[in-house]
Protein backbone atom coordinates (compact mmCIF):
# COMPACT_ATOMS: atom_id res chain seq x y z
CA UNK A 1 0.00 0.00 0.00
CA UNK A 2 1.36 3.42 -0.90
CA UNK A 3 1.67 6.17 1.64
CA UNK A 4 -0.94 8.15 -0.28
CA UNK A 5 -3.54 5.48 0.45
CA UNK A 6 -3.43 6.46 4.12
CA UNK A 7 -4.04 10.17 3.46
CA UNK A 8 -7.40 11.90 3.45
CA UNK A 9 -8.68 15.22 2.22
CA UNK A 10 -7.93 16.77 5.62
CA UNK A 11 -4.24 16.03 5.06
CA UNK A 12 -4.26 18.43 2.13
CA UNK A 13 -4.40 21.29 4.62
CA UNK A 14 -0.96 20.26 5.94
CA UNK A 15 2.44 20.72 4.35
CA UNK A 16 2.78 17.87 1.87
CA UNK A 17 4.88 17.58 -1.25
CA UNK A 18 3.42 18.25 -4.70
CA UNK A 19 3.86 14.57 -5.61
CA UNK A 20 1.89 13.34 -2.60
CA UNK A 21 -0.74 16.02 -3.17
CA UNK A 22 -1.29 14.82 -6.72
CA UNK A 23 -1.51 11.16 -5.68
CA UNK A 24 -3.92 11.62 -2.78
CA UNK A 25 -6.22 13.92 -4.73
CA UNK A 26 -6.38 11.37 -7.60
CA UNK A 27 -6.67 14.25 -10.04
CA UNK A 28 -8.29 17.63 -9.97
CA UNK A 29 -11.96 17.77 -9.09
CA UNK A 30 -14.64 19.40 -7.00
CA UNK A 31 -15.88 18.52 -3.53
CA UNK A 32 -19.56 19.13 -4.16
CA UNK A 33 -22.55 17.42 -2.56
CA UNK A 34 -23.41 14.22 -4.46
CA UNK A 35 -27.02 13.79 -3.28
CA UNK A 36 -28.40 13.87 -6.83
CA UNK A 37 -26.07 11.01 -7.86
CA UNK A 38 -27.40 8.57 -5.25
CA UNK A 39 -29.82 5.91 -6.52
CA UNK A 40 -32.12 6.53 -3.59
CA UNK A 41 -34.81 4.05 -4.60
CA UNK A 42 -32.29 1.21 -4.39
CA UNK A 43 -30.65 2.10 -1.07
CA UNK A 44 -30.90 -0.99 1.15
CA UNK A 45 -30.17 -1.98 4.71
CA UNK A 46 -29.65 -5.07 6.85
CA UNK A 47 -30.94 -5.48 10.41
CA UNK A 48 -33.27 -2.50 10.17
CA UNK A 49 -35.75 -1.89 12.97
CA UNK A 50 -38.21 -0.84 10.25
CA UNK A 51 -37.74 -2.93 7.08
CA UNK A 52 -37.24 -0.80 3.96
CA UNK A 53 -36.42 2.37 5.92
CA UNK A 54 -32.83 2.79 4.68
CA UNK A 55 -33.65 5.41 1.99
CA UNK A 56 -35.01 7.75 4.69
CA UNK A 57 -31.52 8.89 5.68
CA UNK A 58 -30.54 9.90 2.12
CA UNK A 59 -31.87 13.46 2.29
CA UNK A 60 -31.34 16.75 0.52
CA UNK A 61 -29.02 19.15 2.32
CA UNK A 62 -31.94 21.36 3.37
CA UNK A 63 -33.61 18.34 5.01
CA UNK A 64 -30.48 16.96 6.69
CA UNK A 65 -31.67 17.81 10.22
CA UNK A 66 -35.17 16.37 9.78
CA UNK A 67 -36.48 13.77 12.24
CA UNK A 68 -36.23 10.74 9.91
CA UNK A 69 -33.91 8.13 11.39
CA UNK A 70 -32.81 4.57 10.75
CA UNK A 71 -32.16 2.23 13.67
CA UNK A 72 -30.83 -1.30 13.91
CA UNK A 73 -33.08 -4.14 14.97
CA UNK A 74 -31.95 -7.11 17.07
CA UNK A 75 -28.54 -5.67 18.06
CA UNK A 76 -26.24 -2.73 17.31
CA UNK A 77 -24.96 -3.97 13.93
CA UNK A 78 -26.35 -2.13 10.92
CA UNK A 79 -25.53 -2.26 7.19
CA UNK A 80 -26.46 0.51 4.74
CA UNK A 81 -25.81 -0.15 1.02
CA UNK A 82 -25.84 2.95 -1.22
CA UNK A 83 -25.64 2.64 -5.03
CA UNK A 84 -24.97 5.56 -7.37
CA UNK A 85 -26.38 6.28 -10.82
CA UNK A 86 -22.87 6.78 -12.20
CA UNK A 87 -19.25 6.23 -11.22
CA UNK A 88 -17.98 8.82 -8.72
CA UNK A 89 -14.80 9.99 -7.02
CA UNK A 90 -15.57 10.26 -3.30
CA UNK A 91 -13.73 12.71 -1.06
CA UNK A 92 -15.92 13.18 2.02
CA UNK A 93 -18.45 11.07 3.94
CA UNK A 94 -21.29 13.08 5.51
CA UNK A 95 -22.89 11.60 8.64
CA UNK A 96 -25.37 12.68 11.27
CA UNK A 97 -25.25 10.08 14.05
CA UNK A 98 -26.56 10.64 17.59
CA UNK A 99 -24.49 12.79 19.93
CA UNK A 100 -21.34 11.18 21.41
CA UNK A 101 -23.08 10.67 24.75
CA UNK A 102 -26.10 8.96 23.17
CA UNK A 103 -26.43 5.20 23.85
CA UNK A 104 -27.25 4.48 20.18
CA UNK A 105 -24.19 6.15 18.68
CA UNK A 106 -21.94 3.60 16.96
CA UNK A 107 -18.22 3.81 17.67
CA UNK A 108 -17.12 1.83 14.61
CA UNK A 109 -17.87 2.38 10.92
CA UNK A 110 -16.42 0.21 8.15
CA UNK A 111 -16.65 1.47 4.59
CA UNK A 112 -16.62 -0.90 1.61
CA UNK A 113 -16.84 0.02 -2.07
CA UNK A 114 -18.15 -1.65 -5.22
CA UNK A 115 -19.69 -4.77 -3.68
CA UNK A 116 -22.02 -6.38 -6.27
CA UNK A 117 -25.09 -6.25 -4.00
CA UNK A 118 -26.18 -5.37 -0.48
CA UNK A 119 -24.18 -7.86 1.62
CA UNK A 120 -25.17 -9.85 4.65
CA UNK A 121 -23.04 -9.77 7.79
CA UNK A 122 -21.51 -13.13 6.85
CA UNK A 123 -20.60 -11.75 3.41
CA UNK A 124 -18.39 -9.13 5.10
CA UNK A 125 -16.49 -11.60 7.27
CA UNK A 126 -12.88 -11.67 6.14
CA UNK A 127 -13.34 -8.73 3.74
CA UNK A 128 -10.98 -5.82 4.41
CA UNK A 129 -12.80 -2.46 4.31
CA UNK A 130 -11.47 0.56 2.45
CA UNK A 131 -11.65 2.44 5.75
CA UNK A 132 -12.29 1.35 9.34
CA UNK A 133 -13.20 4.47 11.30
CA UNK A 134 -13.56 5.24 14.98
CA UNK A 135 -16.71 7.39 14.92
CA UNK A 136 -17.31 7.43 18.67
CA UNK A 137 -16.86 11.22 18.58
CA UNK A 138 -17.01 13.85 15.81
CA UNK A 139 -13.96 14.33 13.57
CA UNK A 140 -11.42 17.13 14.14
CA UNK A 141 -12.78 20.48 13.04
CA UNK A 142 -16.42 19.59 13.70
CA UNK A 143 -18.64 22.60 14.40
CA UNK A 144 -22.17 22.87 15.68
CA UNK A 145 -24.77 25.01 13.93
CA UNK A 146 -25.16 28.73 14.67
CA UNK A 147 -27.88 27.98 17.22
CA UNK A 148 -25.84 25.30 18.95
CA UNK A 149 -27.70 22.47 17.23
CA UNK A 150 -25.89 19.33 16.11
CA UNK A 151 -24.66 19.48 12.53
CA UNK A 152 -23.56 16.94 9.93
CA UNK A 153 -20.10 15.48 10.53
CA UNK A 154 -17.66 15.49 7.60
CA UNK A 155 -15.27 12.53 7.49
CA UNK A 156 -12.36 12.73 5.04
CA UNK A 157 -11.95 9.69 2.78
CA UNK A 158 -9.01 7.96 1.09
CA UNK A 159 -9.53 9.64 -2.25
CA UNK A 160 -7.12 7.53 -4.28
CA UNK A 161 -8.87 4.30 -3.23
CA UNK A 162 -12.31 5.78 -3.88
CA UNK A 163 -11.66 7.33 -7.28
CA UNK A 164 -14.01 5.08 -9.27
CA UNK A 165 -16.96 4.08 -7.09
CA UNK A 166 -20.42 2.94 -8.17
CA UNK A 167 -21.69 1.90 -4.70
CA UNK A 168 -20.73 2.18 -1.04
CA UNK A 169 -21.56 -0.12 1.86
CA UNK A 170 -21.42 1.21 5.43
CA UNK A 171 -21.28 -1.20 8.37
CA UNK A 172 -22.04 0.42 11.74
CA UNK A 173 -21.46 -1.36 15.05
CA UNK A 174 -20.20 -1.13 18.64
CA UNK A 175 -22.65 1.39 20.05
CA UNK A 176 -22.26 2.65 23.60
CA UNK A 177 -24.71 0.13 25.04
CA UNK A 178 -24.31 -2.60 22.41
CA UNK A 179 -28.09 -2.70 22.04
CA UNK A 180 -28.86 -0.47 19.05
CA UNK A 181 -27.21 1.78 16.44
CA UNK A 182 -28.90 4.78 14.86
CA UNK A 183 -28.16 7.22 12.02
CA UNK A 184 -30.27 10.07 10.62
CA UNK A 185 -28.28 11.32 7.60
CA UNK A 186 -25.76 9.89 5.13
CA UNK A 187 -24.28 11.73 2.17
CA UNK A 188 -21.11 12.24 0.19
CA UNK A 189 -18.97 14.96 -1.34
CA UNK A 190 -16.76 14.47 -4.37
CA UNK A 191 -17.17 14.64 -8.11
CA UNK A 192 -18.63 12.50 -10.90
CA UNK A 193 -16.43 10.60 -13.34
CA UNK A 194 -18.81 11.21 -16.24
CA UNK A 195 -21.76 13.49 -17.09
CA UNK A 196 -25.04 12.66 -15.41
CA UNK A 197 -27.29 10.45 -17.53
CA UNK A 198 -30.11 12.10 -19.44
CA UNK A 199 -32.98 9.89 -18.28
CA UNK A 200 -35.13 10.97 -21.25
CA UNK A 201 -32.67 9.20 -23.53
CA UNK A 202 -32.34 6.06 -21.45
CA UNK A 203 -32.07 3.00 -23.68
CA UNK A 204 -31.47 4.97 -26.87
CA UNK A 205 -28.27 3.78 -28.61
CA UNK A 206 -27.48 5.17 -32.07
CA UNK A 207 -27.73 2.37 -34.64
CA UNK A 208 -24.24 3.00 -35.96
CA UNK A 209 -22.75 2.54 -32.51
CA UNK A 210 -25.06 -0.12 -31.07
CA UNK A 211 -22.59 -2.96 -31.66
CA UNK A 212 -19.86 -1.00 -29.89
CA UNK A 213 -21.91 -0.04 -26.83
CA UNK A 214 -20.01 -1.25 -23.73
CA UNK A 215 -21.65 -3.55 -21.25
CA UNK A 216 -20.19 -3.57 -17.74
CA UNK A 217 -20.52 -6.69 -15.65
CA UNK A 218 -19.49 -7.54 -12.11
CA UNK A 219 -18.22 -11.05 -11.53
CA UNK A 220 -19.19 -12.32 -8.12
CA UNK A 221 -17.49 -15.24 -6.48
CA UNK A 222 -18.87 -16.37 -3.18
CA UNK A 223 -16.42 -18.00 -0.88
CA UNK A 224 -16.70 -19.24 2.62
CA UNK A 225 -18.37 -16.46 4.55
CA UNK A 226 -17.39 -13.59 2.27
CA UNK A 227 -17.78 -12.17 -1.19
CA UNK A 228 -14.85 -11.55 -3.52
CA UNK A 229 -15.07 -9.00 -6.31
CA UNK A 230 -12.99 -9.47 -9.49
| Cα distance between residue 87 and residue 218, in whole Å | 14
| Polymer length in residues for the chain | 230
Does domain 26-191+218-229 sit in CATH 2.60.120.470?
Answer: yes
Other Cβ atoms within 10 Å of 187 Cβ, number: 22
**DSSP codes joined into one string, 180-224:** --EESEEEEEEEESSPPP-GGGTT---GGGGGG-------EEE-S
pTM of the entire structure? 0.74
Compute the distance between CA of residue 80 and CA of residue 38 in angstroms, rounded to an integer.
13
- Residue-range domain boundaries for the chain: 26-191+218-229
pLDDT at position 5:
47
pLDDT for residue 14: 47
How confident is the model at residue 95, as a pLDDT? Answer: 98
CA dihedral sign of residues 108, 112, 117, 121: negative
In this predicted structure, what is the pLDDT of residue 212?
A: 39
pLDDT block averages, 10 residues each, the chain of length 230:
48 43 48 95 98 97 96 97 97 97 96 97 96 97 92 97 97 94 98 64 46 38 40
Amino acid sequence: MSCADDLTVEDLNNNVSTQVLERVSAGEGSNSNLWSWIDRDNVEGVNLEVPGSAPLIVKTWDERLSDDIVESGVDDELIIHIPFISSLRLRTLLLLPPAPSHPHRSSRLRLFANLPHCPSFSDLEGVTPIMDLDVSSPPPGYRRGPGGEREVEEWGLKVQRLANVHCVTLALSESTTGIRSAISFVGFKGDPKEPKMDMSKLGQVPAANAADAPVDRLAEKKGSGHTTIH
